[in-house]
Amino acid sequence: MTNSSTASQSSIVLVFVSLLVMSTPIAFVSSTNHEIASESNGLSIILMIGDGMGLEQVKLGRWVEVGPNGNLTMDTFPYNWSVTTHSADQAITDSAAAATAIATGFKTNNYMVGQSPDGTNLNTILEIAESLGKSTGLVSTTSYFHATPAGFYANAASRNDYATITQQLVDEHDVEVILSGGLSQFTAGQLTTMQSNGYALVQNKTELEAVSSGKILGMFDTGYYPDEPTRDLAVVPSIAEMTNKSLEILSQDADGFFLMVEGGQIDWSSHDNDIVGTALEAIAFDKAINFSLQYVQEHSNTILLVTADHETGGLAVISNTLSQKLPSDSDAEADNRNLRMERANNVTTTWTTTGHTATPVPLFMYGDALIAFPATYSIDNIDIFVIMDTYFSGGTLNSTIFETTSTTTTTQSSTTTTEPSSSTTTETSSSTTTEPSSSITTETSSSTTEPTSTSLPPSPPSMEATILLAIGAAAVVIVVLILLRKR
């Protein structure tokens, strides 16, 4: 009798201790979060957009570079979210409307950049960064005036109005680092203006390497930046090298920076249903992500977001007869490229279109300030702006930031939250509830062991949870008592 009662007492204690542990993680994380939020000076964002990069493009790159069981850099990120991409007027977005949504937090019509459907100019995250005294940078493997980069600085009814877009970059902005193709789009006068505004014009890898501070205009082709299968490896810097140089320059600004890096030709290769091109572009993009990741790991005041504007091609990667040999950093770049091409040719794919699709795209994130986010989540592309804008303003990053904006920013966002597919239904429905703190707690307990934060006091919904837990605890105690009695 004494034995069993001590045993039951200790099991009761155990049950309550574990209940306590389950209900407390909230307290200590919010203090970390608070520290990050209060040190808003110097906050920086690296946003990387794989144009046309759906999860299957990522998979293709993975199979070719590291094999089906390996990980690309982006695969290792702690956050892997799903993003809906429709534009204001189309179920399937183009790059212009998607860039505008990500850059401004507003949906617009296809082909428009930096403007709402009625033609109103919108403020972009790059402009917000400029107004906060931060440095800014744009890197693209297409050209600086193409839809994705243009969405971050231009206001135009048509993405094809390259003259206006270029003029706005030259006359209305002070983007410290511009690296892409497209030199011939600048007039001679505009180039003179840029140089008298302090830009060093560089046109190859050696010249890029020689610049270590100040403003750079790096134009690596008169037309579009070359594609990965044909790029002159000795002359044209890779997207990874452009990203690395951008970080070296921009990080010298104590006020912080905003850098957008576009892997632009994942989209073009996918439009061509080209397996080799798509694989090589996705891998090159991932190499650039690796430099950004190293930077963010060393700088806790920076967050890294990797996403896509839409999927292209309706790609499905279905089988392979891959060789054992993998590309290796110790091999020559040209050899690795040949090996990648050979491996890509041994992957079987199907494509359902030569256009874009409405498939949700990934958002991989990395950074200390994101600690209160759930590991998996479903959002709309305008919410990417919300994350960046909230971060720059020193606000706390947790899933409650989407609820405020989905009701106030645009009408589109409220319609999207109800759309996502069944796999994410639970998370989506909790994100639309009016009680932020409860939705976070629910998601954390189900999807991740990482403690979530909320600085809010325990709110009514946790009552239900407490009652459930109490009933569960009572049941456990009863079972334990019965078992001990039977002994």
Q: Which residues lie near Zn ion (CB under 5 A)?
A: 51, 95, 267, 309
Nearer to Zn ion, 267 or 389 (CB): 267
End-to-end CA distance of the chain: 10
Alpha-carbon gap, residue 296 to 367, rounded angstroms: 6
Contact 114, 168 (CB under 8 A): no
- In the complex, what is the shortest distance from the CB of residue 219 to Zn ion, in angstroms, rounded to a whole number? 21
Q: Which residue has the tokens 């967050």?
A: 303
CA neighbor of 220 nearest in space, from 204, 208, 209: 204
Name the residue whose CB lies closest to Zn ion: 95
Residues 6+ apart with CB under 8 A from 135: 129, 176, 177, 249, 250, 252, 253, 255, 256, 257, 258
**Burial of 395 by CB count in 10 Å (0-12 exposed, 13-18 middle, 19+ buried)?**
middle
Residues 6+ apart with CB under 8 A from 126: 103, 136, 138, 152, 153, 173, 175, 258, 260
Nearer to Zn ion, 224 or 402 (CB): 224
Q: Which three-class secondary structure state does DSSP give residue 441?
A: helix
- In the complex, what is the shortest distance from the CB of residue 52 to Zn ion, in angstroms, rounded to a whole number? 5
- In the complex, what is the shortest distance from the CB of residue 443 to Zn ion, in angstroms, rounded to a whole number? 30
Nearer to Zn ion, 26 or 261 (CB): 261
- In the complex, what is the shortest distance from the CB of residue 270 to Zn ion, in angstroms, rounded to a whole number? 9
- In the complex, what is the shortest distance from the CB of residue 267 to Zn ion, in angstroms, rounded to a whole number? 5
CA neighbor of 264 nearest in space, from 243, 285, 289, 241: 285
Nearer to Zn ion, 309 or 427 (CB): 309
Alpha-carbon gap, residue 155 to 160, rounded angstroms: 12
Nearer to Zn ion, 51 or 443 (CB): 51
- In the complex, what is the shortest distance from the CB of residue 310 to Zn ion, in angstroms, rounded to a whole number? 5
Nearer to Zn ion, 150 or 440 (CB): 150
